[in-house]
A and B are shown apart, each in its own frame.
Chain A
Amino acid sequence: MPILTLKGISQEFGGLRALDGVDLEVEEQQIYGIIGPNGAGKTTLFNLITGIYEPTEGRIFFRGHDISNARAYQVASMGIARTFQNIRLFQKLSVLDNVRMGSYGVTRSGFWECMLRLPRCRREEKQVTQEAEELLDKVGLLEKKMEYAVNLAYGEQRRLEIARALALKPTLLLLDEPAAGMNAGEKAELMELIYHLQEQMKLTILLVEHDMNLVMNICERIAVLDYGRKIADGRPEEVKQDERVIQSYLGVEA
C-alpha cells in the first residue's frame, strides 16, 4: 500500500489554478522526485500535503488516513516532516535548540510538567538533547551546536533544516529544493547525505529539485509537473524519454 496518495488534487488561488487534478502515489521507503519548471506547482503541492493549504478539490491520504483538512501541526505530529525552499530556521535560537524544537511533535510534556520539571519532562529533555546531538553529528554540525542558527553559512543552514526535520522522527520527509543555491560539489555532497539518511532511517522522501541530473541519480520514481498538471511519472529512464517532458522541461537536444 502506498504511504502517500494524492487523488485529483486541485488548488486555486483566486482565479489562478496552481494545481489541476494531480494524482500521486508514493511507496514506502522510496525517494520520489518531483520536477518541473518554475511556477509548476511543486511547492504548492508540498504546502498542501503539510497542511498549510487545504485543497480546493481532491483528497490526500497518508498511511490510509485522510489528511486533506488536517492542520499543519497535526500533519507534522503524524510523522510528515519538511524543509522549506526559502530556509525557515529559528534564527535567534541555537543550532541545538533548532533541532530540539524539531522533536516537539513527538514529545508530550505540557505546561506544568515543564515548569515544575516533572519526571516526564526531565526524561524527554534528556532524550531529545541526546537525539539532537546525534542528528547534528550526522549532518556535521555538532561543533556548532551553540551558535545562533542565523550565523551559519548557507549550506550549513540547509543541513540544519534537514536535521530539524529528522528530529520529528518522520516516516515521510519532504525536501523542497534542498540544494538550491549550492555549487555542483556541495550539491553532490548533499545528495549523498540524503541518500544515506534514507537508507539508515528507512525514510520515504519526497524531493523537489530543479537539477535534473541529481534527481535522476537518487530518485527511484519521478513525477513531472507543468502548469499545475502532472505530465509524466515513472522511473527516471522512462521520464527522460517522455515526449512531453522533453518538450516542456528538458528541451530538445541538438
Chain B
Amino acid sequence: MDELLTQYIDPYYLRLLILIGINIILALGLNIITGVTGQLSMGHAGFMSLGAYTSAILSMQFACPFWLSLLAGAMVAAFFGFLIGIPTLRLEGDYLAMVTIGFAEIIRVFFLNFEPGGKAVGLAGIPQHTNFLMVFILVVVIIFLNARLLNSRVGRAWYAIRENEIAAEACGVDTTRLKVMAFTVGSFLGGLGGGLYAHYMFFIRPQDFGFMKSIELLNMVVLGGMGSIPGTIIGATVLTLAPEFLRIVAEYRLLFYGALLVILMIFRPNGLLGDVRVYDIRKRWFRKEVQGHANINS
C-alpha cells in the first residue's frame, strides 16, 4: 500500500505523516486525561512504552497477528492506567503530576532491566506492520468516537470535573469513577500509539519513552488548547513538524523549538484553539453580514 503511495509522495513526507498520525493518537489520549478532565499527567510516555513493548514482544516472540498484539498492548496500558488512576484520585494538580512522573520512570527503569525487552540495548527487528492507510483510518475513527464521547453525558462530566469538582459532585457525578475512566481511556490510546510506533520504527529503546517524550506530548495538548480535539490535532501536527522545519537552523534547533513554545504561550495562553468554537466563528460572520446590510440601507 505504502509502496503505491510513495510513487506520488516523497517517502520522507509519508514518514512524517505517519508520525503525525501516531502523535495525534497519543495526544488525544493525553487530552482526555489532562485537557478534558483536568488531571495533570506528566507520564504519558509510560503508557506509550507499555503498549510499544507489549505489542512488540507479542509479535516478535509469540508470532501474534499484528492487530491482536496492537490491541493487547493498548489493553495492558489501559489496565495500568486504571491501576494508577485509583490511588492518584486523592491527589490533585502538582501532586498528581509527581506521581505520574514517578510512574513513567518506574516503567522506564523496568524496561531498562527487562530481559525479553532487550534491556538498555532495546528491541530491534520489530516487523514493520504500521502503514499510512492504517494510521489514517485509526486516526479518523478515533477522532470520530472521541468527538461523540466528549459531546455526551460522560464527556460533559469530564469537563465538569475540570471546571469545578464540587459542583460536578452536586450534579450527581461520581468523580472518582469518572477520573479512573478518563485515565483508562487515555492510557488505552497511549498504548495504542505506542504499539503503532514500535511497529513502524523497527527498533525501540527505553529512553525513547522518557520524561522528555511525556513533556512533548503534554506540549501538544497545551499548545493546541486544553480539551479541544481540533486543537490537539493541530498541536500534535505543529510539534511533530517543528523540529523538521527547524533543521535549517541546525544546531540551534532546540533553542528555536523552546522559543517557539514560549512565544506561542505568550500570544495564545489558552492554546492555539483553546477558545475557538465553531459557534463563535459563525456568530462573528453573521454579525458582519447584518452590519453590511445596515450600511446599504443607510
Cβ-neighbour of A90 out of B167, B185, B279, B283 (below 8 A): B167
Does B153 make an interface contact (CB < 8 A)? Answer: yes
Instruction: Given the known inter-chain contacts A52-B166, A90-B163, A92-B163, please indicate yes or no for A114 contacting B154, CB distance below 8 A.
Output: yes
Indicate if the CB atoms of B173 and A73 lie closer than 8 Å.
yes
Please, which residues of chain B bring their CB within 8 A of the CB of A116?
145, 148
Does A168 make an interface contact (CB < 8 A)? Answer: yes
Query: Count of A residues near B, CB < 8 Å?
Result: 41
Please, which residues of chain A bring their CB within 8 A of the CB of B174?
71, 73
Indicate if the CB atoms of B154 and A111 lie closer than 8 Å.
yes
**Contact string against B for A residues 85-99, beta-carbon threshold 8 Å, 1 for contact and 0 otherwise:** 000111111000100
Q: How far, in whole Å, are A21 and B86 apart by their CA atoms in the complex?
A: 36
Min CB distance A241 to B, Å, is 36
Indicate if the CB atoms of B170 and A107 lie closer than 8 Å.
no
Please, which residues of chain A bring their CB within 8 A of the CB of B155?
114
Cβ-neighbour of A72 out of B154, B166, B283 (below 8 A): B166
Chain A residues 128 to 172 lying within 8 A of chain B, measured CB to CB, are 128, 146, 164-165, 168
Chain B residues within CB distance 8 Å of chain A: 145, 148-149, 152-157, 159-160, 163-164, 166-175, 181, 185, 279, 283
Does A27 make an interface contact (CB < 8 A)? Answer: no
Pairs A-B, 3 closest by C-beta atoms: A105-B172, A114-B152, A90-B163
Please, which residues of chain A bring their CB within 8 A of the CB of B167?
84, 88-90
Please, which residues of chain A bring their CB within 8 A of the CB of B283?
146
Chain A residues within CB distance 8 Å of chain B: 50-52, 71-73, 76-77, 81-82, 84, 88-93, 97, 100-107, 109-111, 114-117, 121, 124-125, 128, 146, 164-165, 168
Residue pairs across A and B with Cβ atoms less than 8 A apart, 10 shown, are A52-B169, A72-B170, A76-B170, A84-B170, A90-B164, A100-B156, A101-B171, A104-B172, A114-B148, A121-B152
Q: How far, in whole Å, are A97 and B157 apart by their CA atoms in the complex?
A: 10
Please, which residues of chain A bring their CB within 8 A of the CB of B160?
90, 93, 101, 104
